[in-house]
Amino acid sequence: MLKVGILGVTGYAGAELARILRLHPQARVVAVTGRSAAGKPLAHVFPHLSCYDLTVQEELDGDVDVVFSALPHAASAEALVPYIRAGLPVIDLSADFRLRDPEEYTRWYGVPHPAPELLERAAYGLTELNREAVRSAQVVANPGCYPTGAVLALAPALHAGIVEPDAVVDAKSGISGAGRTLGLTYHYSEANESVAAYGLGGHRHLPEMTQELSRFVAEGASPRLTFVPHLIPMTRGILSTCYAPLRPGALPEGDAGRRALAELYRDFYRGEPFVQVVPEPPSTKHTLGTNLCLVYPTIDHRAQRLVVVSAIDNLVKGAAGQAVQNMNLMLGLPETMGLDMPALYP
Amino acid sequence: MLKVGILGVTGYAGAELARILRLHPQARVVAVTGRSAAGKPLAHVFPHLSCYDLTVQEELDGDVDVVFSALPHAASAEALVPYIRAGLPVIDLSADFRLRDPEEYTRWYGVPHPAPELLERAAYGLTELNREAVRSAQVVANPGCYPTGAVLALAPALHAGIVEPDAVVDAKSGISGAGRTLGLTYHYSEANESVAAYGLGGHRHLPEMTQELSRFVAEGASPRLTFVPHLIPMTRGILSTCYAPLRPGALPEGDAGRRALAELYRDFYRGEPFVQVVPEPPSTKHTLGTNLCLVYPTIDHRAQRLVVVSAIDNLVKGAAGQAVQNMNLMLGLPETMGLDMPALYP
Amino acid sequence: MLKVGILGVTGYAGAELARILRLHPQARVVAVTGRSAAGKPLAHVFPHLSCYDLTVQEELDGDVDVVFSALPHAASAEALVPYIRAGLPVIDLSADFRLRDPEEYTRWYGVPHPAPELLERAAYGLTELNREAVRSAQVVANPGCYPTGAVLALAPALHAGIVEPDAVVDAKSGISGAGRTLGLTYHYSEANESVAAYGLGGHRHLPEMTQELSRFVAEGASPRLTFVPHLIPMTRGILSTCYAPLRPGALPEGDAGRRALAELYRDFYRGEPFVQVVPEPPSTKHTLGTNLCLVYPTIDHRAQRLVVVSAIDNLVKGAAGQAVQNMNLMLGLPETMGLDMPALYP
Amino acid sequence: MLKVGILGVTGYAGAELARILRLHPQARVVAVTGRSAAGKPLAHVFPHLSCYDLTVQEELDGDVDVVFSALPHAASAEALVPYIRAGLPVIDLSADFRLRDPEEYTRWYGVPHPAPELLERAAYGLTELNREAVRSAQVVANPGCYPTGAVLALAPALHAGIVEPDAVVDAKSGISGAGRTLGLTYHYSEANESVAAYGLGGHRHLPEMTQELSRFVAEGASPRLTFVPHLIPMTRGILSTCYAPLRPGALPEGDAGRRALAELYRDFYRGEPFVQVVPEPPSTKHTLGTNLCLVYPTIDHRAQRLVVVSAIDNLVKGAAGQAVQNMNLMLGLPETMGLDMPALYP
């Protein structure tokens, strides 16, 4: 039984780690931290975690075999450094180890990187696209929720070269993505029955998407991405609708083109337990509580454009679930262990 | 006092006409029809309209000065023909008089146009862009909810020639847009806490957008549009996020470009009572129950792309409110009469 | 044109006053205060009020003819004292002038009453039950949202003596009732898709209900009330389900009893513009944005119990709308002026 | 591995059985029926069940070890008779085996009981209160969702004799309780942002509550119950707020009384894995996706009334989860097998 420690259990991603690991047959959460709630029983902070007999601490105490961090950026890398130096496997849900270039990190996060010398040890944990790197990494940078949905939607098309590297990602997120910190934007009466775009000046998940999609652009160039996230009046789920110009002649006309496209996507994700290429536009509800990413590619022939829609649960495949998937890989366990349940529907 | 008749009062757009006209100082609804509810008091069908002492009828009885139709397409034109021939001013909320080309109509609606000879008499009632035509028309085709938001968002940029005529319209609609007819997709437990795209094979509002935006494309060519609507778990509101490639050099770099863009939009809509160019991305909630369209244009300089977000209440500016705005114009009343109220917030 | 001042415009009740008064033909809001936002344009604080060209101030400046206060308790009475002493008509939406007994006030609100000597000048503004007192009062204590729904539901039955003065009020409120102040309970992701009871140790609206219902208890005794409010995942609306034991023989058996009960309620509220005794259990949605209270009385013959359900919009009849109704009465205007619109539906 | 058949998999309770049993280590769903969808793959009807490679059938084919029925009443008993006669263990989620008196059944359900001779073989499966009967039963009548919450809330108090057998049950249910069949009441735009009471003329779950609570009334008499259900704009969850007059002197005054009450409830449910007596009023959200019933008892000393609030997930403890709990008992498996997961939160 693996002993797991969670840094920053008091946010939604941290709590979701504790929820998911409860179902894991080979891992057990033995220590959790969270500054604001230090000293309180975990069951007081989150009544749904009353199955745990743990007290929230300032620092992890006791031995652990693996460490997850759901701390805010900068604080996360700082807190993880000792565990990394001690040789423990570490999965970081913050942004700290996602961008390979520390200057890019500073540009977007406004602070110097706390441990640039460790960036090389980190694998970017979008599991399906980096499985071997994750398997052998000591540090995994768990992807942001938006990049997870967008990169899984666009990678097959960019990889196949059927589109120009010039895409729009229009993402619709449930409000849990904004976390548990209070704000007028997330106040029930303000957020309910309303939709709005945000981050139009540049969202921090953009460089992450660009970096990861660059791998699929033949010339090594960066794709030209516009990313606009939206807040939707629901708790969980991200739907990403992605648009890119089709290269002329890349696919047949009409339904034959759509079939070829679907086949291309199914080939790309063949054998993947958590990515399903689906025959109808997916609803985020079909992913609720699961580690699934549902992907629906199609063509707007009139406008010669690829449209790909992906759906995830932002707290599972977009955060804690993918983190456990990565842990499984890092520790040599079956990749789906503890993650194989149907969605809560309706 | 104008005597108003409403055909098809039993759907949401019809009921919304009755609601809005209740506040109109110069018009009074005197007769309403609706086959499924014929013979029932309007107050039984819609308790919120119990202020009306009207019975739903099969046909309008008695004299009316103006007729609105909220009937389904095809049925609407058929029902309106006698009133048009009788010389009455008519506002049609269905799609029947929107497309100028009857073959295009048949292509998208699957039936021959019921009265192609009358198409020439109809003005497309996106009021801000067709004010003079509406003023002198006997028949007004009230725009679809999606075209209203999208065309108002993109027209200024296309008109100014700052973008290529090649746009993506990603629209997020509340579920009332799907009407009152039952369907599993609109069943509460299925629609709640979920987002999905639909109409990916081609939505009927696309040719309408294309037709109206063509007016702003210099060469008279059609813009290349991709339109993807989404259902959002809320009752009212449409947010349209529109993307188009900036023409090189069309606007200055950086914030100067954004300022120039905002100025361009403000100029375009200067003096408009119902279109507001706003300094922050709008929330649909800020339009609830009003005839407003809020427009926020900005630039993604990295990707050299224009992004414009517009927000409307789909049942007001997207349907019944704009219809009353058109009625006011047609009948020589002040355009804002009966339509000048703040949003219901929160 | 009456010049209106609003103290505390930055909460939901204050903003709702501004919204409603915008539609009032004889009143105009000329000055608004709100400490946290002092110096900001009202349109920045609330974009839906951009029709106003007003700046939020620390104190009302300039002349006003009538003052509304939507300040918190204690602060409200303190701020109103100068206006009351100056002889201005005043409507207080806080709790400060609701309880006639200043000791009761201290017991429930934990502070000494700021102006006990003025309590005698105040009328309790549940308009339908205190019309004459309101008409001649200089100070009106606008009722709490919960007492409005509960007292209107129970008064006819207690007045007729058909029930024991022993009632349960189980109320379900939209979350706007909790105001605009942030709190984890009102954080979207926590409040959404959940229902909970609160205030089980004793809610401050209980003494107010008890005081007002005592007027209808023959012996002058207090009714024995249990009041349990619940938070419901919606923005506006209160549904109050009220239960009381029927006095034996007070009403006929079976449907005749239900008819007699409905008749009794219709008689009690005959001619009231804003209270409707309805033939089916009401939905809060039917009151959205209106000053209506819908009341549905029925009998559980098996248990010999009266059940009465009432529905209001907590921010209108439960706050700002009733306040304007009271203003109209105090100033000799038609009671329904500016308040006569259908609900926003759906 | 137990082979499980599900009759009526196409409703929400049937689908929830399939979801929950997927997580059961000793049971496997091998056959499912559903007339409307017969011939379709289960994964087409419910994409969230695409983990199953099953086709919906008209009748169960092949061998099964245990049968669940989620068919409508009357149809359920009819379909189950052959399995019962064949000696298979059967769990019926319909109402058919809940009421011991077939005349009572006819009174409430309007049809003769399809198999009155089998009623004696059935145990009422509110597991915590009938554990031994369930363990040895061949037929288990799985309780209704409302009775589950209400009976668990009131049983300890009635059993202890601290209240009069005269209670009000005010229940608030998510809309999935109304099932998957379409109806205007459950149409998104009608149900959203609204609360209403229903079933005021007598809900079918009332006789079930009365029957089961009668067991706890000393004199063998029936308790006098008023039950009013409400529809709440959320998908899952039932909160039941129950009120009953305290017997004079039954409990100490003040906080000592509340402590004694909590102790009484904790004693009653000591050792129960799925009933938790909680120290704060529960939110339905804390039960989402779980088989838990959270119970919070308190006293309104002013009114000398007991108030008990209970929270469940209507599709789990209120339907499919409790059914699996019963199956575990009937088949000699650990009672919590496959049911031991934290709630999905937020």
Please answer yes or no on whether D285 and C346 come within 8 Å at the CB atom: no
Cα nearest neighbour of A283 on chain D: D47
Chain D: give the shortest CA distance to residue B182, in Å: 7
Q: Do D168 and C285 touch (CB under 8 A)?
A: no
Q: Is C51 a catalytic site residue? A: no
pLDDT tens readout for residues D126-150:
999 999 999 999 999 999 999 999 9
Beta partners for D56? D32
**pLDDT, tens digit, 9 for 90 and up, residues A295-340:** 999 999 999 999 999 999 999 999 999 999 999 999 999 999 999 9
| Tokens 């840094």, residue located | A7
Q: What is the mean pLDDT of chain D?
A: 97
User: Largest alpha-carbon pair distance within chain A?
Assistant: 64
Average pLDDT, chain C: 97
Distance from CA of D311 to the nearest CA of A (A): 13
Give the span between the Cα atoms of D206 and D202, in whole angstroms: 7
pLDDT digits (tens, 9 = 90+) for B212-241: 999 999 776 889 999 999 999 999 999 999
Both structure tokens of C39: 């110096």
pLDDT of residue D130: 98
The residues pairing with A239 across neighbouring beta strands, listed in sequence order, are A172, A311
Q: Which of A1-5, A219-223, A262-266, D173-177 has the lowest mean pLDDT?
A: A219-223
Calculate mean pLDDT across residues A202-207.
96
> Using the 8-state DSSP alphabet, how is residue D308 labeled?
E
Distance from CA of A147 to the nearest CA of C (A): 22
Q: How far apart are CA B97 and CA B81, in angstroms?
A: 11
Q: Going residue by residue through chain B, which has 346 residues, state the pLDDT in tens, using 9 for 90 and above.
A: 999 999 999 999 999 999 999 999 999 999 999 988 999 999 999 999 999 999 999 999 889 999 999 999 999 999 999 999 999 999 999 999 999 999 999 999 999 999 999 999 999 999 999 999 999 999 999 999 999 999 999 999 999 999 999 999 999 999 999 999 999 999 999 999 999 999 999 999 999 999 999 999 977 688 999 999 999 999 999 999 999 999 999 999 999 999 999 999 999 999 999 999 999 999 999 999 999 999 999 999 999 999 999 999 999 999 999 999 999 999 999 999 999 999 999 9
pLDDT at residue C275 greater than cutoff 90: yes
pLDDT in tens, A188-198: 999 999 999 99
User: C: neighbours with 3+ CB pairs under 8 Å?
Assistant: A, B, D
8 Å CB contact between A98 and A319:
no
- Quick one: how far is CA B82 from the chain centroid? 25
The alpha helices in B142-247, defined as continuous H runs, are: 145-160, 188-191, 205-214
Question: Which pLDDT score is estimated for B62?
Answer: 86
Instruction: Report the Cα–Cα distance between both ends of chain A, in Å, rounded.
Output: 34
Please give the pLDDT value at position A86.
96
Query: Does residue D319 contact residue D142 with C-beta atoms inside 8 Å?
Result: yes
Q: What is the DSSP string of A47-103?
A: GGGTT---BEESS--S--SEEEE-PPTTHHHHHHHHHHHTT--EEE-SSTTT-S-HH
Quick check: A182 and C182 CB within 8 A? yes
Burial class of residue B153 (count of CB atoms within 10 Å of its CB; 0-12, 13-18, 19+): buried
Q: Using 50, 70 and 90 to split pLDDT, how confident is the model at A218? A: confident
B250/chain D closest Cα distance in angstroms:
43
What pLDDT score does B218 carry?
77
Sketch the domain layout of chain A as residue ranges. 2-143+317-330, 146-314
pLDDT for C330 equals 98
Q: Residue D200: CA atoms inside 13 Å, Cβ hemisphere, count?
A: 23
ipTM of predicted assembly, 2 dp: 0.97
User: Closest residue of B to C236, CA-based?
Assistant: B346
pLDDT for A221 beyond 90 = no
Nearest CB neighbour to B194, from listed A195, A206, A237: A237
Which residue has 């990313």 as its token pair? A227
Mean per-residue pLDDT for A87-92?
A: 98
pLDDT, average across residues D268-274? 98
Residues C295-317 have pLDDT tens digits of 999 999 999 999 999 999 999 99
Touching D: which chains, 3+ CB pairs < 8 A? A, B, C
The pTM is what? 0.98
> DSSP readout, D195-213?
-EE--TT--THHHHHHHHH
Q: What whole-number percentage of chain D has pLDDT above 70?
A: 100
Q: Which residues of B touch C (CB under 8 A)?
A: 12, 15, 18-19, 22-23, 46-51, 176, 193, 235-236, 276, 278, 280, 282-283, 285-286, 288-290, 340-346
Percent helix / strand / coil, chain A, rounded to 5: 35, 25, 40
Contact criterion met (CB < 8 Å) for C233 and A182? no
Report the gap between the CA of D105 and the closest CA in chain A (Å).
30
CA–CA dist C6, C17 (Å, integer): 8
Question: Does D156 have pLDDT greater than 80?
Answer: yes
The pLDDT value recorded for residue A29 is: 98
CB-nearest partner of D182 from B174, B182, B235: B182
Q: How many CB atoms lie within 10 A of CB B53?
A: 8
Residue in chain C closest to B285 (alpha carbons) equals C48
- β partners of residue A33: A57
Distance, CA of D244 to CA of D305 (rounded, Å): 6
User: Which residue carries 């040890």 as its tokens?
Assistant: A121
The 3 state secondary structure assigned to C86-139 is CCCCEEECCCCCCCCCHHHHHHHHCCCCCCHHHHHHEEECCHHHCHHHHHHCCE
B2-143+317-330 and B146-314: identical CATH topology: no
Please report the pLDDT score of residue C127 as a whole number.
98
Q: pLDDT tens, C105-144?
A: 999 999 999 999 999 999 999 999 999 999 999 999 999 9
- Report how far residue B150's alpha carbon sits from residue B226's, in angstroms, rounded to the nearest whole number: 11
Q: Which of D49, D193, D280 comes nearest A342 by C-beta?
A: D49
Please give the Cα distance from A90 to A62 (Å, whole number): 16
Amino acid at the residue A152 = L
How big, in percent rounded to 5, are the helix, strand and coil portions of chain C?
35, 25, 40
What residue has token string 């999606």?
B146
Counting one residue from B and one from C, how many pairs have CB atoms under 8 Å apart?
71
B323: closest CA among B84, B102, B97, B30? B97
B169 phi and psi angles, rounded to 5 deg: -115, 110
What region, left, alpha or beta, does residue C327 occupy, with left being phi > 0 and alpha being psi -120 to 50 degrees? alpha
Q: How many residues does chain A have?
A: 346
The residue among B168, B185, B179, D182 whose CA lies nearest residue A280 is B185
As its CATH architecture, domain B2-143+317-330 has 3-Layer(aba) Sandwich (3.40)
Rounded CA-CA distance D328/C307 in Å is 41
> If we measure between CA atoms, which residue out of D80, D74, D60, D43 comes closest to residue D3?
D60
Note whether A338 and A344 are within 8 A (CB).
no
> Is B189 close to D183, i.e. CB distance below 8 A?
no
Mean pLDDT of C45-64: 95
Decide if D283 and C196 are in contact by the 8 Å CB cutoff: yes
Which of B189, B225, B234 is opposite residue A195, by nearest beta carbon? Answer: B234
- The topology under which CATH files domain C146-314 is Dihydrodipicolinate Reductase; domain 2 (3.30.360)
Structure tokens at A291: 């580690």
Residues of chain C contacting A178 with CB distance shorter than 8 Å: 189
pLDDT for res A219 = 72
CA C246 vs. chain centroid, Å, equals 27
Catalytic residue, chosen from C51, C145, C242, C293, is C145
Question: From CA D168, how far away is CA C303, in angstroms rounded?
Answer: 9
Interval C136-155: pLDDT, tens: 999 999 999 999 999 999 99
Give the H or E element holding residue A174. Answer: none
| Contact list, C104 vs chain D (CB under 8 Å) | none
Residues of chain A contacting C, Cβ within 8 Å: 12, 174-176, 178, 180, 182-184, 186-189, 191-193, 233-235
Give C126-129's long-range contacts (Cβ < 8 A, gap of 24+): C126/C151, C126/C152, C126/C212, C126/C322, C127/C274, C127/C322, C127/C325, C127/C326, C127/C329, C127/C335, C128/C152, C128/C269, C128/C272, C128/C274, C128/C275, C129/C155, C129/C212, C129/C215
pLDDT at C227: 98
- Here the tokens at position C270 are 């005959």
* Chain C residues touching residue D209 (CB < 8 angstroms): none
Name the pLDDT band for D61 (thresholds 50, 70, 90). Answer: confident
Q: How confident is the model at residue A62 (pLDDT cuts 50, 70, 90)?
A: confident
Residue D219 pLDDT > 80, yes or no? no
Q: Which residues of B touch A174 (CB under 8 A)?
A: 193
Task: Give the DSSP letter of residue A317.
Answer: I
The nearest CA of chain C is from the CA of A338 a distance in Å of 25
Q: Please state, as a whole number, how many other Cβ atoms lie within 10 Å of the Cβ of residue A100.
A: 13
Task: Give residues with Cβ within 8 angstroms of B256, minimum separation 6.
Answer: none
Q: D5 in helix, strand or coil?
A: strand
Give the 3-state secondary structure of residue D310: strand
Q: Is the pLDDT of residue D220 over 90?
A: no
